[in-house]
Amino acid sequence: METNESSYVPSPDVHGKRSTAPVKSLSSDPTEKPTYIRFLVSNPLAGAVIGKGGSTINDFQSQSGARIQLSRSHEFFPGTTDRIIMISGTIDEILRAVDLVIDKLLTELHAEDQADDVGTKTKLRLIVPNSSCGSIIGKAGATIKSFMDDSQAVIKISRLDHSYYGLNDRLVTLTGTLDEQMRALELILLKLSEDTLYSQTMTVPYTYAGVFFSGFHGMPYGAVPPPVPAVPHNTAAHYGPNMGGRKFQNNKDDRTNSLTIGVADEHIGFVVGRGGRNIMEISQISGARIKVSDRGDFFSGTSERKVTISGPQRSIRTAESMIMQKVAYASDRLMD
């Protein structure tokens, strides 16, 4: 994983002039469901995106219609000193917001030497869940090659770095001019929007060791999102191979909040880990108590083991999201 370069850095290569035409999505459906994209920005440049008192980021949200959030000044993507920007909305709204953000970054990068930033080759590093990278790559790399041919941007996907506990994301680096990057981003977003698992990760908090983004709290500029619903008292949910979210009341009377998750038997080993290491780490990081049912003890009519999480609501949500990431990783491994 690249750690010695800025998340958005100009290279000496300059080709052509940037088009002034607005970027348009291939989809014109006004009812397009919301999606999101996350990418890295160096900590010093993050202030330029925010602006004094949040003025710049509020302006970008107003112009684009998208919601823009940043991780806090001490919350970095593992292995880097770069903060995380999350932009959510329709594909058109996201593309408008990203265009505004990157244009602002280019302006800041070239402000001191007054260089012409039009056509400058830069690197934009997207954060994509490991489980969704396959759709970008395609069979034998056909999809990613077609994206590069179409956009003229160079697209590279990092390997999953197992050095950081809880890291189930990979970096997708787009190298090119702003126009080339925006076209590549558009193609990637359109492909990710077809991935149902990707849409489910929009509200999953980060669980990197040492970093906790609760529903990506970051810096709450602009419209305040709907509150995250509290975990119901003593409920149960199933996360089988299709990551379904069926919930049932648990009749057990307990004074603490609890959530029972059904995890497919073939995935439970990835959740527990060798010698119980994974589940102990999840418990330690989240602060929740986690209990896995014995072998053969399934939810009625399924082959899903019972994983009961109890504790404060925030701890339950954190543990649940970490377990979901393990299940997604297991599904990806078993499909390989």
Q: Is residue 11 part of a domain?
A: no
Amino acid identity of 290?
Answer: I
pLDDT for 332: 63
Closest to 311 measured CA to CA, from 208, 237, 238, 231: 231
Q: How far apart are CA 239 and CA 310, in angstroms?
A: 17
| Residues 161 and 97 placed together within one structural domain of the fold | yes
Q: How many domains does the chain have?
A: 2
Residues with Cβ within 8 Å of 246's Cβ and at least 6 positions away in sequence, in order, are: 237, 238
Residue of higher predicted confidence among 244 and 26: 26
Q: Is residue 235 part of a domain?
A: no
Q: Is residue 123 part of a domain?
A: yes
Instruction: pLDDT band for 165, please (50, 70, 90 cuts).
Output: low
Q: Where among 156, 173, 201 does a domain terminate?
A: 201
| Residues 183 and 59 placed together within one structural domain of the fold | yes
Q: Which of 79-83, 165-169, 253-257, 311-315 has the lowest mean pLDDT?
A: 253-257
Domain at 96, CATH number: 3.30.310.210
CA gyration radius for the chain?
21
Q: Which of 2-16, 26-40, 132-146 has the lowest mean pLDDT?
A: 2-16
Domain at 276, CATH number: 3.30.1370.10
Residue of higher predicted confidence among 31 and 336: 336
| Residues 184 and 318 placed together within one structural domain of the fold | no
CA distances from 143 to 152, 174, 186, 253, 336 (A): 14, 15, 14, 51, 17
Q: Which of 30-34, 59-63, 106-110 has the lowest mean pLDDT?
A: 30-34
Q: Is residue 221 part of a domain?
A: no
Q: What angle do CA 317, 315, 328 make, to 5 degrees?
A: 45
CA distances from 130 to 35, 192, 319 (A): 17, 12, 19
Q: Which of 115-124, 187-196, 276-285, 316-325 has the lowest mean pLDDT?
A: 115-124
Q: Which two tokens stand for residue 42?
A: 């160096």
Positive or negative torsion for Cα 82, 88, 91, 94: negative
Q: How far apart are CA 141 and CA 251, in angstroms?
A: 49
Instruction: pLDDT band for 250, please (50, 70, 90 cuts).
Output: very low
Q: Where among 158, 179, 201 does a domain terminate?
A: 201
| Residues 61 and 192 placed together within one structural domain of the fold | yes
| Residues 51 and 166 placed together within one structural domain of the fold | yes
Q: Which two tokens stand for residue 265?
A: 């038997």
| Residues 148 and 285 placed together within one structural domain of the fold | no
pLDDT for 160: 83
| Residues 129 and 41 placed together within one structural domain of the fold | yes
The mean pLDDT value for 184-209 works out to 80
**Whole-number percent of the chain with pLDDT over 70:** 69
Which residue range is the domain that position 191 belongs to? Answer: 35-111+119-201
What angle do helix axes 178-192 and 91-109 make, rounded to 10 degrees? 150
Residue of higher predicted confidence among 226 and 293: 293
pLDDT at 287 over 80: yes
| Residues 187 and 268 placed together within one structural domain of the fold | no
| Residues 177 and 107 placed together within one structural domain of the fold | yes
Burial per residue of 14-47, b for 16 or more beta-carbon CB atoms within 10 angstroms, e otherwise: eeeebeeeebebeeeeeeeeebbbbbbbbbebbe
| Residues 48 and 178 placed together within one structural domain of the fold | yes
